């Protein structure tokens, strides 16, 4: 429709600018904090965004990155699953869910006093079939990602665990082939500094296992997960070296708590 000659150039500029202002206002509303219409909004500066305190590592148990991407982005026979990140064997990092959002990756389980693991953790899937060694480039990529996440999200570097650690008996990833010692050498995950010292008389390995974070509802399953993580082997009974490892871990945890 032609603009009448009487309309000023200033009015023409306003007509062009108005839609842009409307878009800006809509964008601002989209990012405004959710407010309950039943309450009077009286904002306080005393808050922080909810943030994860734990990083959970998985293996995909599939045969390619593309297959895993499809699984993590669609509904499956067991229901929809997801993760925040997927790392290929070549070290390439894919992000599927924003860090601030809750990915469906941990499921039922417990680590220490944490029971809602999906709300409290970042999930990282590693493209691995569960029976093969993890590629060097893949672990290099994982270390880069861990350095970013622990610094940016302020997650303690020791708070990196496996899926099977929080769900003994239900899950077995990332399994006994995962190189936890290499992560520990880079400063990530809990690892015994000196596992050569025999514990004193009266040492309770089950209390130490619970102190590390394992649930003891099924003690044999907890030991299997512990063995995968800290010994790189199978087995559901504690031996003398397990006691040395647990004693070292308990001393480290208690020492950190006392600082």
Please list the active-site residues.
125
Q: Residue 93: is it exposed, middle or buried by C-beta count within 10 angstroms (0-12/13-18/19+)?
A: middle
In Å, what is the CA distance from 197 to each residue of 209, 247, 249? 17, 8, 11
Rounded to whole angstroms, the Cα distance separating 83 from 60 reads: 10
In Å, what is the CA distance from 102 to each residue of 31, 50, 166? 18, 10, 17
∠36-42-43 over CA atoms, to 5°? 95
Rounded to whole angstroms, the Cα distance separating 72 from 105 reads: 9
Rounded to whole angstroms, the Cα distance separating 27 from 20 reads: 11
Q: Residue 151: is it exposed, middle or buried by C-beta count within 10 angstroms (0-12/13-18/19+)?
A: exposed
Helix or strand holding residue 87 (H, E)? strand 85-87
């Amino acid at each position: 429709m032609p603009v009448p000659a009487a309309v000023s150039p200033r009015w023409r500029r306003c007509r062009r600018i108005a839609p842009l202002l409307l878009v800006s206002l809509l964008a601002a509303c989209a990012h405004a904090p959710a407010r309950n219409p039943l309450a009077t909004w009286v904002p306080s500066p005393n808050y922080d965004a909810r943030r994860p305190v734990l990083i959970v590592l998985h293996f995909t148990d599939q045969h390619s990155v593309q297959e895993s991407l499809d699984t993590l982005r669609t509904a499956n026979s067991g229901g929809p699953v997801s993760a925040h990140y997927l790392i290929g064997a070549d070290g390439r990092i894919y992000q599927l869910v924003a860090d601030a959002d809750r990915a469906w990756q941990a499921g039922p389980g417990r680590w220490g006093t944490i029971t809602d693991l999906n709300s409290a953790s970042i999930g990282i899937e590693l493209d691995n079939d569960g029976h093969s060694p993890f590629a060097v480039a893949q672990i290099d990529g994982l270390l880069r990602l861990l350095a970013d996440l622990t610094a940016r999200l302020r997650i303690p570097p020791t708070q990196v665990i496996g899926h099977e650690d929080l769900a003994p008996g239900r899950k077995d990833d990332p399994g006994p082939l995962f190189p936890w010692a290499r992560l520990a050498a880079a400063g990530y995950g809990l690892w015994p500094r000196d596992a050569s010292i025999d514990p004193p008389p009266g040492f309770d390995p089950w209390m130490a296992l619970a102190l590390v974070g394992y649930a003891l509802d099924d003690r044999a399953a907890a030991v299997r997960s512990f063995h995968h993580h800290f010994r790189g082997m199978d087995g559901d009974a504690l031996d003398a070296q397990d006691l040395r490892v647990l004693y070292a871990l308990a001393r480290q945890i208690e020492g950190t708590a006392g600082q």
